[in-house]
Amino acid sequence: MSELFSAMSISAHGMRAQSERVRVIAENMANANTAAPTPDEDPYTRQFIVFKNVLDREMGAKIVEVSKIGEDTKKPYPVKFMPDHPGADENGYVKMPNVDSLIEAMDMQEAQRSYEANLGMIEQSRNMLLQTIDILRR
């Protein structure tokens, strides 16, 4: 029975990690059109999440955790012609966030599916546990 509880715990850690990933993606999408406030400042920078495997000695199994939340400084900021914006430079261009909404939507879909897969594992473990209890009652 401890294997079933371990499977549920591993899946719960996976769900926690994926929910943090969804939070970061949602923040990226919310700021995708936020231009730089002044010509000298940078706009919102896309964030990404890095996972790591951690050995849970109590369970004797590896679990997933968030290692860090970093900023994507490698992708350049696109510029958009908006001469009336306070963040426009002398040529009328404003730096926009380096967030690609299409990539964020695909990452969100992947995170959602991973979350659902972990939830499915918890449901299967729960059903197996309930069936074991029913067998023991007889």
Q: pLDDT by residue (tens digit) across 89-122?
A: 999 999 999 999 999 999 999 999 999 999 999 9
Distance of CA 92 to the CA centre of its chain: 35
Q: Where residue 58 falls among pLDDT bands split at 50, 70, 90? A: confident
Q: What is the pTM of this model?
A: 0.86
- The radius of gyration of the chain's CA atoms, rounded to the nearest angstrom, is 22
Contact predicate 119/15, CB 8 Å: yes
Residue 86 pLDDT > 70:
yes
Which helix (H) or strand (E) segment holds residue 65: the answer is: strand 61-71
Q: How far apart are CA 97 and CA 73, in angstroms?
A: 11
| DSSP structural state of residue 134 | H
Residue 44 pLDDT > 60:
yes
What is the arithmetic mean of pLDDT over 7-12?
92
pLDDT for the residue numbered 68? 96
For the stretch 68-90, what's the b/e string if a residue is b when 16 or more beta carbons lie within 10 angstroms of its beta carbon?
eeeeeeeeebebeeeeebebbee
